[in-house]
Amino acid sequence: MLYIGIDLGTSAVKLLLMDATGDIKKIVSKEYPIFFPQTGWSEQNPEDWYNATIAGLKELTAECDTTLINGLSFSGQMHGLVILDKDDQVIRPAILWNDGRTQKECDYLNNEIGREKLSQFTANIALTGFTAPKLLWVKNNEPENFERIQKIMLPKDYLAYRLTGNHCTDVSDASGMLLLDVKNKCWSKDMITILGLTENQLAEIHESSDVIGTVKEAVATELNFPSTVKVIIGGGDQAVAAVGTGTVGDGMCNISLGTSGVVFIASKNFAVDDNNALHSFAHADRKYHLMGVTLSAAASNKWWMDEIIGTKDYATEQKEINKLGENNVFFLPYLMGERTPHNNPDARGTFIGMTMNTTRADMTQAVLEGVAYSLRDCLEIARSLGVTIERTRINGGGAKSPLWKKIIANVMNVTVDTINSEEGPAFGAAILACVGCKEYATVEEATSALIQVVDSVEPDSELISAYDQQYKKFTMLYPALKDVFNVIK
């Protein structure tokens, strides 16, 4: 049988077709526009998502026997707000995860309602990207639209609704709304009251591998699919990407070294750190996860190489780096502010420690190390909660650098594993489709069968010790510069 994973990203939808053994048959991508009607705003038309997905499904399955398609599932950009009226028509353009208009609403939630209460209700505090502040913004600025709301949906859930007619969501994606009681995996009645909503306006909650229906007859006819094709709800992009790397169960870790850097830790237990520095979300494997984010990971290296040095030859620049753990130059990778652990949009990228003897290679090394130290910040918070991490998987563009993987292994004192797949969210969604259709009993069973480690970087005891001392110096820099960042913002 065949399975489809649909990854609804910010700029494009990526679709993947595979069989139950994980053999990928075809991958298709379809782009759609983003609109920026005002400075700091970011919106999309949900109809564009649907049209691109239908076109992508047609292209994806044009050369296969569609009678073999058994199920499909989703990965989706998180936090976006889609609101529907009584006729299930979209009321206004979707407000996306990277939209920054809700600072006033976040300040109200964090300061007037209170961070402690928000954490108690939802396991998280308000951030501008989350869905609940967006709803408050609509209530405060577009009251006529707020009054028309019949259903509140997340981006990938809107696609699932269009395919099935059912208003559903999953626990991993809903965790990023600031509306879910994450620990108990149900809607928070307190948050519903604070926002002036009713529970009927929210979607039905499922685990990520649950079947929520079959493809509607009209859709099946248009796609030449059997009407028996099952739709599995799927999950938020980070959780489903973790499924795609096999980061499931308890104590598994994955580092995504993309534009941003994500430390994702799967856990069988629910946990929240005292400062809410880590996101505490439900996972797509029916358990939980902790997640820390550094906003400029591979983006920091790209900025340094492309804009400052003026080269695309990253590998050649890294060949000159041969004195790990000895660099006197430090770099704070806060080019876009920082999320974990500082949650400070005014933090800025900073070099410190240069002398007349500092070389170009020292500066390049400092960038790679600074990102690794920032990722360790995330890991240390998890360790403070009693989570033991001895190895991590790694993916993303930065993971193509053997040197960067070696630095990360020794800065974080973990074995760094590379796996046999680079497809991430779309692959993870197809795995969830397999589980939903009973090809595998659990997500863990599926990932164990389909994902293998192909390369590992072990930490070195001497480098671990050297980098421990370097990391201690790194942790002194942000507190010393915090007030300066507030002045130069």
Binding-site annotation, residues for substrate = 78-79
3-state secondary structure of 31: strand
Which residues are CB-contacts of 238 (< 8 A; sequence separation ≥ 6)? 78, 256, 262, 264, 291
**CA 298: distance to chain centroid?**
15
Residue type, 49: W
Q: Classify residue 153 as exposed, middle or buried by CB count within 10 Å of its CB (0-12, 13-18, 19+).
A: buried
Residue ranges of the annotated binding site are 78-79
Tell me which long-range contacts 309-318 makes (C-beta under 8 A, separation of at least 24). Answer: 309/360, 309/364, 314/401, 315/401, 317/360, 317/361, 317/364, 318/364, 318/368, 318/401, 318/403, 318/404
Per the structure block, which two tokens stand in for 298? 């591979």
Question: Which residues, other chains included, contact 384 with Cβ-Cβ below 8 Å and sequence gap of 6+?
Answer: 273
Residue 337: CA atoms inside 13 Å, Cβ hemisphere, count?
8
Write down how long the chain is: 489
Residue 332 C-beta-side C-alpha neighbours within 13 Å: 27
Strand positions, DSSP E, 225-370:
230-232, 235-236, 253-257, 261-267, 279-282, 288-294, 330-332, 350-352
The three-state secondary structure class of 15 is strand
Nearest CA to 73 out of 234, 252, 198 is that of 234
Structure tokens at 292: 């820390």
Quote the CA–CA distance of 437 and 71 in Å, as a whole number: 7
Pairing of strands 12-19, 24-31: antiparallel
Catalytic pick from 170, 237, 285, 362? Answer: 237
Q: Which two tokens stand for residue 274?
A: 């005292």
189: its two tokens? 């009645």
Q: Which residues pair with 72 in a beta bridge?
A: 4, 231
Give yes or no: 237 in active site: yes
Structure tokens at 475: 């942790």
Which residues, 6+ apart, have CB-to-CB distance to 470 below 8 Å? 325, 327, 330, 369, 373, 411
Question: What are the catalytic residues?
Answer: 237
